Chains A and B, each alone.
Chain A
Amino acid sequence: MRNHLLTAAAVLAVNVALAAPPTAVLRAPGKHAEDTCTSCHLALDDARLRTPAQLANSDIHHTQGVTCAGCHGGDPNSEDAAAAMNPAKGFVGKFSRQAIPEKCGSCHSDPTFMLRYVPNIPTDQLAQYRTSKHGLALARGDTNVAVCSSCHGAHGVLQITDARSPVYPTRIVETCGVCHADATLMARYGIKGNEVADYKQSVHYAALVKKNDLSAPTCKSCHGSHGATPPGITSVSNVCGTCHVTQRERFDLSPHKDAFAALQQAACEGCHGNHAIAHPQDDRIGVGEKQVCGSCHSAGDVGATAAVAISGALAKATAAVTGAERRVERVKRAGMLMDDAEVKLEDAHQSLVVAQVEIHTVNPTRVEDQTKAVLINTGVAEKLAAAAEAEIRYRRTGLFISLVVIAAAMVALILKVRAIER
């Protein structure tokens, strides 16, 4: 009985702390909120007080019927400033930084309330935030860390799918960078502060900004957003494996898996690095200078021998693809349709990509199985190109013969004309 009472009291306490706004300060969902707060604040001279009212127009909360009082309390229907901003009616002007996550969470952690606006919207942001490095530091009283408004903005909050939102994939790096690119600030937390700059050199960032690939990983893809925390040594491969599923599966088949675990080495990071991940190059495989295997293996050992075999097979396959592509392209430029050869080149390319994935098994046989498929396909493409080259020669010979015939006819005609005009 006592336990039940305690549980009920705890639930009540949470509900009081996380209470969604009373209905008096809400309008119908989807209806733009009109209140006396914005109409007065828009007329104020002090930009600090006027700007929030200006931003309210595009704010997702305001456009969905949540008035200013939804967060700040007070009476949004009163035209009397003192009544509208009466602390007795719950009015709070500016929130303390610590209060912000709880304030946002009062609605965003309430599934019943949130479902009125968006079906299937997650409501665990606050719970995640509390587990994050930011949330933990805030709980310790560190107000330098990010709270909801640091990333989403305070007024004029946009949906995360809006390209203007600071947390939109193409903008989130800059948003995290506001703090994380500040080396002085980061030094206090033992973070280098070069992570954002490094990430901008990466193949992921290039995919994001050059190819406009919104699925390319940004900070939050690996570190999480609300529950932001660095992935630990053991979870790095899980993080990378979320997208690079096959590579992870192949790695798990390899002897590296247990070896890396025993050495407490981060799996993917060991060879690929972390923030500044470059496009993988086949010539990085080996024990030579600037080659990744050399950090653990030395020439002659089992690993180095496998690396040399893998590297050789890949180089041969890559050279075959490049050579066949050049030859087919040259024939195409001469005007021949090479669709069949292009299909074979595509197949060869596919096998080469699979071979590059098989590298993660560090098993030369598995890599060579794929590079053999590459060589078979490039061989067919080369044959088709050779046939097309023969056809070009045949056509040109035909042209030469017909030109000779035409020229003979012309000469005959000219001679005839001369004869009859003499």
Chain B
Amino acid sequence: MRILDRLWQALDERLDLAPLVEFATHKEVPQHRHSWAYYFGGLTLFFFFVQVATGILLLLYYRPTAEAAFESVQFIVTRVPFGWLIRSIHSWSANLMILAAFAHMFSVYLLGSYGKPRELTWWSGFLLLLLAMGFGFSGYLLPWNELSFFATRVGTDMVSKVPLVGGWLLKFLRGGEEVTGATLTRFFGFHVAVLPMIVTSLLGAHLALIQRQGMHIPEGLEEEAKTHRPLRFLPNFVMREGVVWLVGLAALAGLAAFFPWELGSKADLFASAPAGIKPEWYFLFMFEALKLLPAHVLGIEGELLGLGAFSLAGLVWFLVPVLDRGSQAGHRSRAFLVLGWLALAYIVSFTLASFAGVFK
């Protein structure tokens, strides 16, 4: 123990760590009827850690070329000891991370926690969700199987609709006119270098902002929070979060063992697209809505109009802390609350309906 104490003392002298420990031990988490919502962000973080760890393990065997990608994943899941588990956990954890991120975002939104002074936290969180979806989109192609190949072709094709720069964007994403081995190598680069770099720094900022500002008490629950003794962040809240992480781990283990992620068949660039090509579930609400649009609306291409509408909706969602003026004074408006519930209802209903085959 003496060695540890001396090590701590040496570090503290040089880095002045005592105030940080002081901060952590005195940090408190308010308690009220909706304090369950505070655990979603941590759960998302847990899945992110799992992604980093399993992703690095997959990197040991994965080969990012059109000739070898599928075979290398096949090798991982059949020959590498516990490779099937690592790959399956990576795929399941990716999906659960997005699900947890959506739950986190909607709980923050519906409890009105985006208002002043937490605008920056909201914006960084919004960008993190987009980046997570980018992780999902780029990672989906990496096994180079039939489904992922065609889903990427459809998905990247959508950017070509962007006015003026669409053609350039398409070439930038695909590394050429078509989805080829060049696209795979490029997506691999995004997936393991570009996105992790941006996400890590943005995630650092997001977490720092939360630590700096503390947990938000939803409007109307201030009195209730006063009547409950707040939880100490260390160790009480961290231990409770630990229980949630263990639930996440158990879910991952169960899903990976009982529903191993399928590999499918290798992508064939010259084959015709199989029927029923769908993107990952978190893109379905947009995908199905775009399919429902007629070819042309008022002379404008339907798909372009849809993408424009989604971009605009995304922008409104992003700018909510500014647009909802009441939130700046701590009173978020009822209109934005209704908007949040409508958005949630739309996303959930379209996603479920797509799984149920309503849009066939």
Q: B262 near A: Cβ within 8 Å?
A: yes
The segment out of B42-50, B245-253, B288-296 that lies at the interface is B245-253
Are B242 and A337 neighbours in the complex by a CB distance under 8 Å? Answer: no
Q: A416 near B: Cβ within 8 Å?
A: yes
Beyond A335-B259, A335-B260, A337-B78, is A417–B240 a contact (Cβ under 8 Å)?
Answer: yes
Beyond A335-B260, A410-B246, is A399–B74 a contact (Cβ under 8 Å)?
Answer: no
Q: Which chain B residues (236-268) contact chain A, with CB distance < 8 Å?
A: 236, 239-240, 242-243, 246-247, 249-250, 253-254, 257-263
Q: A398 near B: Cβ within 8 Å?
A: yes
The segment out of A39-47, A240-248, A314-322, A400-408 that lies at the interface is A400-408
Beyond A413-B242, A413-B246, is A421–B253 a contact (Cβ under 8 Å)?
Answer: no
Beyond A406-B249, A409-B246, A410-B246, is A420–B257 a contact (Cβ under 8 Å)?
Answer: no
B256 and chain A: residue at smallest CB distance: A399
A402 and chain B: residue at smallest CB distance: B253
A406 to B242, CA, bound (A): 11
A398 to B85, CA, bound (A): 11
Q: A82 near B: Cβ within 8 Å?
A: no
| Residue in contact with A421 in the complex, picked from B78, B236, B257, B261, CB distance below 8 Å | B236
Q: B170 near A: Cβ within 8 Å?
A: no
Are A337 and B77 neighbours in the complex by a CB distance under 8 Å? Answer: yes
Are A395 and B246 neighbours in the complex by a CB distance under 8 Å? Answer: no
User: Within 8 Å CB of A417, what residues of B?
Assistant: 236, 239-240, 243
Nearest CB on A from B239, distance (A): 5
Q: Is the interface of B mostly helix, strand, loop or mixed?
A: helix
User: Within 8 Å CB of A406, what residues of B?
Assistant: 246, 249-250, 253
Q: B214 near A: Cβ within 8 Å?
A: no
Are B239 and A416 neighbours in the complex by a CB distance under 8 Å? Answer: yes
User: Within 8 Å CB of A336, what residues of B?
Assistant: 260
User: Within 8 Å CB of A413, what residues of B?
Assistant: 239-240, 242-243, 246
Q: A396 near B: Cβ within 8 Å?
A: yes
Q: Which chain A residues (350-405) contact chain B, with CB distance < 8 Å?
A: 395-396, 398-399, 402-403
Nearest CB on A from B119, distance (A): 33
Nearest CB on B from A373, distance (A): 26
Q: B235 near A: Cβ within 8 Å?
A: yes
Are A398 and B257 neighbours in the complex by a CB distance under 8 Å? Answer: yes
User: Within 8 Å CB of A398, what residues of B?
Assistant: 257
User: Within 8 Å CB of B78, what residues of A?
Assistant: 337, 339
* B interface residues, how many (CB within 8 angstroms): 25
Interface bracket on A = 20 to 34
User: Within 8 Å CB of A395, what residues of B?
Assistant: 85, 257
Beyond A337-B74, A417-B236, A420-B235, is A403–B259 a contact (Cβ under 8 Å)?
Answer: no
A410 to B239, CA, bound (A): 10
| Residue in contact with B247 in the complex, picked from A337, A402, A410, CB distance below 8 Å | A410
User: Within 8 Å CB of B231, what residues of A?
Assistant: 421
Nearest CB on B from A417, distance (A): 5
Nearest CB on A from B356, distance (A): 21
A317-352: CB near B (< 8 Å → 1, else 0) gives 000000000000000001111010000000000000
A417 to B244, CA, bound (A): 13
A339 to B79, CA, bound (A): 12
Q: Which chain A residues (2-45) contact chain B, with CB distance < 8 Å?
A: none
A10 to B261, CA, bound (A): 80
A408 and chain B: residue at smallest CB distance: B246
User: Within 8 Å CB of B247, what residues of A?
Assistant: 410
User: Within 8 Å CB of B257, what residues of A?
Assistant: 395-396, 398-399
Are B262 and A403 neighbours in the complex by a CB distance under 8 Å? Answer: no
A395 and chain B: residue at smallest CB distance: B257
A138 to B113, CA, bound (A): 94
Are B253 and A399 neighbours in the complex by a CB distance under 8 Å? Answer: yes
Nearest CB on B from A218, distance (A): 27
- List 12 A-B pairs, Cβ < 8 Å: A337-B74, A337-B77, A337-B263, A395-B85, A398-B257, A399-B253, A406-B246, A410-B243, A410-B246, A413-B239, A413-B240, A421-B236
Question: A-contacting residues of B (Cβ < 8 Å)?
Answer: 74, 77-78, 85, 88, 231, 235-236, 239-240, 242-243, 246-247, 249-250, 253-254, 257-263
- 12 more contacts with CB within 8 A, not counting A339-B78, A395-B257, A409-B246, are A335-B259, A335-B260, A335-B262, A337-B78, A395-B85, A399-B257, A410-B243, A413-B240, A413-B242, A417-B240, A420-B236, A420-B239
Q: Which 3 A-B pairs have the closest CB atoms?
A: A335-B260, A399-B257, A410-B246
